[in-house]
Structure 1
Amino acid sequence: MAALWRTYLRLLEKHPWKTQVTSTATLMSIGDVVSQVCIESKEKNYDVTRTARFFLFGTCYVGPVLRTWYLTMERIFGASKNRALFKVMADQGCFAPMFLTSFIAGMEFLRGGKLAEIKNKIKQDFVPILMTNYKIWPAVQICNFYFVPFQLRILVVNVTALGWNTYLSWMSEQN
């Protein structure tokens, strides 16, 4: 396990963008697998395409957006620990609502949803997902911004998001 951790840190140092995007996409996919197998009991009807959608969305959208957001917050608020509260307020007040809207819309679009279906899915799922977000992420982010070095923050978010992605996968696939 220690060797795997060292390899990850080495990759993160050499290729931060690729490493963070890949880990985001991988953990999003794992969240979908957990949702399908453990929550929805779909062992026999497992949907590989659905997991591929999560991987694609994580690679092309979520990973790059998270990386850009964290770099932007560092530029705006600086790296000092006393700025952690400002980062949490920006993250939860601005980023979370916009990101969750785009997540719901993007996943519905990748499922083949039309504009009316996408709007309906946002109307149906946004508030419950946002309220659940506020039960989890502010506490995670305050610890993340106070105690975790910048280069490891997305990993902390991704590991926490393993459970979160399981929830999002389940929510995004409800009709």
Structure 2
Amino acid sequence: MAVFSRIARRLKGSPVFIASLQAGGLMCLGDGISQTLVEKKDKFDLNRNIRFGMLGLCIIGPTLRTWYGILDRRISIKASKLGTAVAKMGVDQGIFAPIFLANFLGINSLMQGNSLNQMKNDITKNFTDVVISNYKLWPAVQLISFSVVPLQYRVLFVQTVAVFWNTYLSWKTNSEGIVDPEILPA
């Protein structure tokens, strides 16, 4: 129990830093799963893995922690905890998610060394599929997150679920869409 108390104190003392570390590590994990289990690459692309980790560390972790803090301060429905969670999820998924995903796709493309024209093409090519996939997973996850997960644990909770999402994003943004048929559901 003492370990969890220390973790809780650390999360409260440096929330953005801790969220950044969590997101960076879990983004690396998602890309690693994509490369080894989904794409079954012969050679692990360490640069790609580091790039994905840096996205989590420098952009995703701080952005999500800041965003969740804003939602907690700005959206509260006194009548209902569930109503507050639904309102937060609606704003998160209706406004934040599409903007965040477009930015993710663009930054990832630039980090791959692509030109601004190629970045625009990458966003155009992947945005619709990524947003549709987002809406199949994240509204339910965010309802749980906003209704029962305390703010200091929210990025960790979301990024733990996001290991699977990060695997998908890594595959979607780094491959030609070829996947081993053995891993697909029957």
TM class by shorter chain equals: over 0.9
127 and 3 in structure 1: CA distance in 2 versus 1, 3 angstrom threshold: farther
Q: Which has the larger displacement, 144-153 or 96-105? A: 144-153
Q: Unpaired runs of 5+ in structure 1?
A: none
* Offset, 1:4: 5.8
1:53 & 1:4 partners in 2: Cα distance? 31
33 and 14 in structure 1: CA distance in 2 versus 1, 3 angstrom threshold: same
The aligned counterpart of 2:24 is 25
Structure 1 vs Structure 2 CA RMSD = 1.6
Once the two structures are superposed, what CA deviation does each residue of 1:95-142 show, in whole Å capped at 9, x if it has no partner?
110010001001000000101111111111000010000000000111
1:164 & 1:35 partners in 2: Cα distance? 10
2:152 & 2:39 partners in 1: Cα distance? 34
1:26 & 1:79 partners in 2: Cα distance? 34
* Offset, 1:78: 3.3
Q: Secondary structure of 2:175's partner?
A: coil
Q: Which structure has the greater CA radius of gyration?
A: 2
* Offset, 1:59: 1.3
Q: TM-score, normalised by structure 2?
A: 0.87
- Is the aligned partner of 1:143 residue 2:144? yes
Q: Secondary structure of 1:45's partner?
A: coil
Aligned residues: 173
Q: Which has the larger displacement, 139-148 or 11-20? A: 11-20
Once the two structures are superposed, what CA deviation does each residue of 1:24-63 show, in whole Å capped at 9, x if it has no partner?
1110011000100110112x31000001101111111111
116 and 23 in structure 1: CA distance in 2 versus 1, 3 angstrom threshold: same
Identity %: 39
Q: TM-score, normalised by structure 1?
A: 0.93
124 and 3 in structure 1: CA distance in 2 versus 1, 3 angstrom threshold: farther
The aligned counterpart of 2:101 is 100
